[in-house]
Amino acid sequence: MPPARKRTRSHDPAKIRAAVTAQFGHVRDAVLALPPEALDGPTRLGEWTVRDLAGHLTMVLGSVTRGLEGPEPARRELALLDWPPATATAAARIDEDVRALDTADLPGLYAHVADAFGKALAGASDERLVPTRLGAMTLADFLVTRTVELVVHTDDLAAATGMEVPYDRQALAACTRLLADTLAEKAPGGSVEVRIPPYAVVQCVEGPRHTRGTPPNVVETDPLTWIRLATGRTGWAAERDAARIAASGERADLTGLLPLMG
């Protein structure tokens, strides 16, 4: 089993389950409201069309269902904070699976995936190990990663279509917090305080640690800007110039630490 992390945050499993279900519902409603021609439009995800992205969003839940249907792995291989940096290694396999997915009947696909997910979760222990592309995880941890996938790709869908897709508050909070904790894990220290109100505050980067008053190095931004930075959807300089990042102090530049996941 991976060693325990000092920065590992506790997530309420019941709230996470509800958040995953709610955010998938928001995405489903948005996808099914699109006119057919919009599905052929481009996204910011390389060669993926909106239809490809819509199909991938069903895989976010489908991966949980498949994991629960199969045999339980013998041991845990992946801690929650291991997941974000490891995602880059799975990009090619994900693309292959998206290309192979039958998305001709999106309403039917979304209905089937939601139904199977609900049935698979019923009675499943949060501590049950499930296989994932990156290694076996507890169900509770894997569901936290599903909030990241759903929130990040909700933003991708909104950017591609111009739609205003709602965010479940708990899903957005869990996504924000996991990526903030990943930064603190990647660059441990106490010289920079990163604030992402109202969901997260972490300290990171080696150097002098403040003990009282206002820290000498502070970064503050909103949750969606933070998520875009952490996933490489945007860059530090562009967001700073657009005044979506407030940064003070000589160490308050996170350019070299971002993105945190592929």
- The domains found in the chain, sorted by start residue, are 13-171 (1.20.120.450), 187-257 (3.30.1050.40)
Q: By three-state DSSP, how is residue 148 classified? A: helix
Phi, psi angles (nearest 5°) of residue 233: -75, -20
* pLDDT score, position 216: 85
Residues 232-260 as b/e (b if ≥16 CB within 10 A, e otherwise) read: ebbebeebbeeebbebebebbbbeebbbb
- Burial (0-12, 13-18, 19+ Cβ within 10 Å), 109: buried
Alpha carbons 148 and 116: distance in angstroms, whole number:
21
Contact assessment for residue 14 and residue 137, using Cβ atoms and an 8 Å cutoff: no
Determine phi and psi for 218, rounding to 5 degrees. Answer: -135, 135
Determine the pLDDT at residue 164: 97
At 2 the pLDDT is 43
Classify residue 33 by burial, with Cβ atoms within 10 Å: 0-12, 13-18, 19+: exposed
For the chain, 262 residues long, the average pLDDT of each consecutive 10-residue run is 57 98 98 98 98 98 97 97 95 95 98 98 97 98 98 98 98 98 96 97 85 80 98 97 96 96 86
Residue 244: CB partners within 8 Å, gap ≥ 6?
221, 222, 225
> Residue for token digits 């991976």?
2
pTM, entire model? 0.95
User: DSSP secondary structure string, 157-198?
Assistant: HHHHH-------HHHHHHHHHHHHHHHHHHS--SSEEEEETT
Query: How far apart are alpha carbons 91 and 150 in whole angstroms?
Result: 16
Q: Helices in the chain by DSSP H: which ranges?
A: 13-32, 50-69, 83-86, 91-100, 106-121, 139-161, 169-186, 223-230, 236-241
